[in-house]
Structure 1
Amino acid sequence: EKYRHTSAPMPRKHRLLAIMQPLQEDNVRQSGPRVWNAALAISTMVMLAGFFAVFYVNAGTEISSVGLKGLPMQHIYIVRHGDKYSSYPDCPQKGDAPCFDEPSMGDNAPLTPCGIRQAQHVAEWLRDKDIRHVVASPYARTMQTALPIAKVFHETLKVEYLLSEAMQSEGPHREFNIDDPAPTAAQLQEAHSLWDLHYGSPPIKTPENHSMYIRRVPEAAVDLRARFEPSTGNVVFVTHATPSFSVAYGLCHGSDGDDASLEQFVRHQKPIGPGGVIEIVKAPDGSCQELKQTNNVGLEVGCGATEPFKCDFDDFPSWYWSHSLGKGPGLCQ
C-alpha cells in the first residue's frame, strides 16, 4: 500500500518504504533478484535500527543498573559498624545496661546486643542487592557487622586493614578476644570460619596520627579500586565512621578531586550512624556516576547509644582527606 499525501505527518513505516521502494524497483530492473534481496535486507536492517533506537531512548532511563555498553553498573555499599560497647559508661554499672570493659576490650569494643540487631537489619536491607564481595576492617565490631551480610549472600569475609579505624595507637586489641561477651566470641568464631584465606592485607602503621591517616586513605582508595573493579560485581565495605567518608570520597574523587569537591562532599553528606550506609554507583569503565546521601539504615532498629558522626568541614577541613586549609581549628580531635 502506497502512502497518500495529506496534511498529517507521514508515519515512520511509510517514510521508510517511500525511501526504499524506488531504490528497490530500480535495482530490480538493473540487477535482478539478487539486488532485490540485498535491498530488502537493507530495508529490514534500517527498520530494525529505528525500532531499537526508539526502544533505548524510551527505556534507557529505566535501566539504571546497565551501562551504555550493556554491561552492569557496580554498586558499592560502605557500611559503618553497629552500636558498640565503648559508647556506654565504664563497667561496673548497675542493672542490665551494657557497660564498657576497657581493660578487656581496649580499642576493640565489640557490638552490643543492639549492634548485633542493627547488623542483621542492614543485612536484610542488602538482601536484594546482589553482593559479590564482603570486605571488612579487622576490628571485632566491623567483623560482627559484616558477618550476617556474608551469610545472607554465602560469601567469604575479606579482611582489609586499610579499612581500619582512624588514628589509633595500635591495631585491634585482642583481635579474637576470648574474654569478650559470649555472643561476640561466638560471632568471631563464625567469622573465623568464613575468613577468605586467599585475600591478603598487611597491617597499617601504628601508632597512627592524623598525618599518617591522610596518607593512608588515598592508598586505600587506589588499592580498593584496583581489587574491586566494576567487572567484579557489587561490593560491601564495612568500616568505621571516619573511614566511611574518606573511602566514599576516595573511590569517587581520589584521582581527580580538589579542595572544592572535598568541601562540597563533606558539607553535603549527613552524619553516618551505626549501621549507616553510603552507596556509590560506578559505570563499567570505573567512573563514579553517583555518590548517594547517607542512609542511616541501622537507626531504624531504634536502639543503642552510638551516635551518628560527622566532622564538620569548618571544624577540621582535612579530617577526611588532604585539604589546603589543613586542620583549621582542629575541633574533631
Structure 2
Amino acid sequence: MKTIYLVRHCQAEGQEPDAPLTAVGIEQAQQLAAFLANKQIEGIISSPFERAYRTISPLADAAALPIKLDERLTERVLLGQNHPDWREMLRQTYEDMDLCYEGGESSRTATNRAVQVVTEVLNSSWKNAVIVSHGNLISLLLKHLDQAVGFEEWEALSNPDVYELSFTDAASSFKRIWMP
C-alpha cells in the first residue's frame, strides 16, 4: 500500500504566487509538521508558490527531507481576469470538466496535471509522501478519485487541510484527517 498526504497550504496573506503565510499560517505550519511527524514520510512535493512550500518547510526540516517544487501543483487559474460571479463560474466547472473561461484552465486540464504528479509518486519507491497544493486543484484531484466530490467539497476545505489518499493494487480511497 502507498499513502499520499494531500495538503492544502496554511493561511496566507493573498493569492499571488509570492504571498507569504500569515503569523497564524506560520503557527499552523508548525502544527502540521507535528501532525505529520509520525507518518514516516519519505518524499515531499510542493507547488512552487511560497504559501505552499512554506507550509511544509517545518516538516521537511524536521525530517531532513528536500522539498521538490513542481509547477504542475500550482493553483488552477479559473479565468484571466477578476469577475464578480467567479464563484458561480467555478461551480459550473465542477459540472462541466471541459468548460474553460478566457485566460483560464479547464477542470480536466488542471486535474490531468495533478494526476500526473500522483502517478509519479505511486511509481516511485516512496511508501508515504506529501503533496502540497491549493484548494481548487486538491478538490479536483479528489473528484478524480470520487466523482461525487464537487463545489461544496471545495467550499468545505480549510487552510490548512489534509487528506490521506491510500492506494493498493486493487483500489484507492481517501479520507480527511485534518480537523480544523
Is the pair's TM-score, using the shorter chain for normalization, greater than 0.5?
yes
Q: Does 1:238 align with 2:132?
A: yes
Q: How does 1:124-203 map to 2 (within 5 A)?
A: 124-167=34-77
Q: Among residues 8, 13, 17, which one is paired with 1:85 in the alignment? A: 13
Q: Kindly indicate which of the two structures has a greater share of residues assigned to strand.
A: 2
Cα distance, 1:147–1:123 mapped onto 2, change above 3 Å:
same
Per-residue Cα deviation, 1:249-306 (whole angstroms, up to 9, x for no partner):
33xx3xxxxxxx41x23388471111111111111x2731x2113624xx4xxxxxxx
Cα distance, 1:248–1:153 mapped onto 2, change above 3 Å:
farther
Contact 1:74 1:230 in 2 (8 A): no
Cα distance, 1:156–1:120 mapped onto 2, change above 3 Å:
same
Q: Match for residue 119 of structure 1? A: 29
Structure of larger gyration radius: 1
Q: How many residues align?
A: 158
Contact 1:110 1:140 in 2 (8 A): yes
Q: Match for residue 171 of structure 2? A: 287
Cα distance, 1:218–1:232 mapped onto 2, change above 3 Å:
same
**Distance apart, 1:223 and its partner CA:** 4.0
Supply the AA of the counterpart residue of 1:81. Answer: H
Per-residue Cα deviation, 1:58-90 (whole angstroms, up to 9, x for no partner):
xxxxxxxxxxxxxxx211111111111128xxx
Q: Does 1:249 align with 2:132?
A: no
Contact 1:230 1:286 in 2 (8 A): no
Q: Among residues 158, 162, 165, which one is paired with 1:273 in the alignment? A: 158
The separation in 2 between residues aligned to 1:160 and 1:227, in whole angstroms, is 12
Q: Match for residue 179 of structure 1? A: none
Q: Match for residue 36 of structure 1? A: none
Give the 3-state SS of the residue equivalent to 1:295 in structure 2: coil
User: Percent identity at matched positions?
Assistant: 25
Q: Match for residue 53 of structure 1? A: none
Supply the AA of the counterpart residue of 1:246. Answer: L
Q: Which runs of 5+ in 1 are unaligned?
A: 1-72, 88-105, 171-206, 254-260, 300-333
Larger relative contact order, structure 1 or 2 (CA cutoff 8 Å, min sep 6): 2
Give the 3-state SS of the residue equivalent to 2:42 in structure 1: strand
The separation in 1 between residues aligned to 2:133 and 2:66, in whole angstroms, is 16
**Distance apart, 1:225 and its partner CA:** 0.9
The separation in 2 between residues aligned to 1:228 and 1:168, in whole angstroms, is 28
Contact 2:2 2:122 in 1 (8 A): no
Supply the AA of the counterpart residue of 2:175. Answer: K
Q: Which runs of 5+ in 2 are unaligned?
A: 81-101
The separation in 1 between residues aligned to 2:151 and 2:13, in whole angstroms, is 29
